[in-house]
Amino acid sequence: MGRYRVIGRMFRREENAQVCLLELAQDIDYALIPKEIPGKGEPWRVVVNPRNSDGEFLNRLNHFLEEERWTVSDMNRVLRSDINCLAPRVVISPDFWIWAQNLGAVVQPLLEQMLFRELRVFSGNTVSVPGALAFEAWLEHTTEVLQMWQVPEREKRRRLMECLRGPALQVVSGLRAHNAAITVKECLAAVQQVFGHVESRKITHVKFCKASQEVGEKVSSFVVRLEPLLQKAIAKNAVSRRKVNQTSLKQVLNGANLPDKLRDRLKLMRQWRKPPGFLALVKLLREEE
């Protein structure tokens, strides 16, 4: 099927299966797509959704919300509004309300499915708990879902607590006992510190120094991919915070395939000790691309 991008993933309890939504990079003949793809254990069932359907509709909806600076909550409020609640001088045609009601009937179930996906269980026990994920997979899933939920911080924290078991629950409960207003982000950081994979200072530094531009990857994309590695190295004191821009630029020069003119320009910045920051560097590279 060629190159693809993972749009999202979720666990469907009714089917007891993990579901992934993929976007293909190019047009293909849908008749040639297999009904199943071999995987670990049972094969993955393939469900094809041709263009000009839900995907395109969601893109248009997201674009509309961004342009109008609306949230999903605003959309729900409008779709549920009664015409009698409008200001007396505001006149809206009946056709609009028919359209809004039809749109609400279609969008509401989809929005609820997107925004209130169930969090998976994590315990931190060496013995697996039914329905629990390995830590890295759980953290990725939980972070993604919590970012999508447009609910108050208190509600996010409550739902996070509900998905924790055993030692993991004890860790977060202990933190809440000392600070009732602790954020979800702080809770996840604490769980990661206790149960996540711990890399040594040396390994973190080596990973950063060995990072290089991949085949077909833009230089700006490489810089974006390099940034988390740099931040990890800083957190481990493997890289000085005072020299963060200088260090980042040095690794870009070492690991990226740059045009001669651009390379000379970046070298001069480094020699003059005026390396650009992360955002400035990405902007510069994108302008060159």
pLDDT digits (tens, 9 = 90+) for 23-73: 777 777 766 777 787 777 778 777 776 554 555 566 666 666 666 666 666
- DSSP secondary structure string for all residues of 93-115: -HHHHHHHHHHHHHHHHHHHHHH
72: left (phi over 0), alpha (psi -120 to 50) or beta: alpha
Q: What is the mean pLDDT of residues 105-113?
A: 53
Is residue 203 pLDDT above 70, yes or no?
A: yes
Is residue 86 pLDDT above 50, yes or no?
A: no
Contact criterion met (CB below 8 Å) for 219 and 257 = yes
137-141: which pairs have CB atoms within 8 A and are 24 or more residues apart? 139/188, 139/191, 139/192, 139/196, 141/9, 141/10, 141/11
Is residue 209 pLDDT above 80, yes or no?
A: yes
Is residue 175 pLDDT above 70, yes or no?
A: yes
Which tops the pLDDT comparison, 41 or 189? Answer: 189
Phi, psi dihedral angles at 164 (to 5 degrees): -95, 150
Q: What is the mean pLDDT of residues 178-188?
A: 87
Centre a 10 Å sphere on the Cβ of residue 117 and count the other Cβ atoms it contains.
19
pLDDT of 210: 92
Task: Please state, in angstroms and as integers, the Cα–Cα distance from residue 43 to each residue in 6, 40, 46, following that order.
Answer: 18, 7, 9
| Partners of 12 in beta bridges | 17
Amino acid at position 96, single letter: F
- The answer to which of 193-202, 255-264, 272-281 has the lowest mean pLDDT is 193-202
Which tops the pLDDT comparison, 275 or 1? Answer: 275
CA-atom Rg of the chain in angstroms: 24
Is residue 121 pLDDT above 80, yes or no?
A: yes
- The answer to which of 16-30, 232-246, 247-261 has the lowest mean pLDDT is 16-30
Where does the pLDDT of residue 263 fall: very low under 50, low under 70, confident under 90, or very high at 90 and above?
A: very high
Q: What is the mean pLDDT of residues 117-135?
A: 69
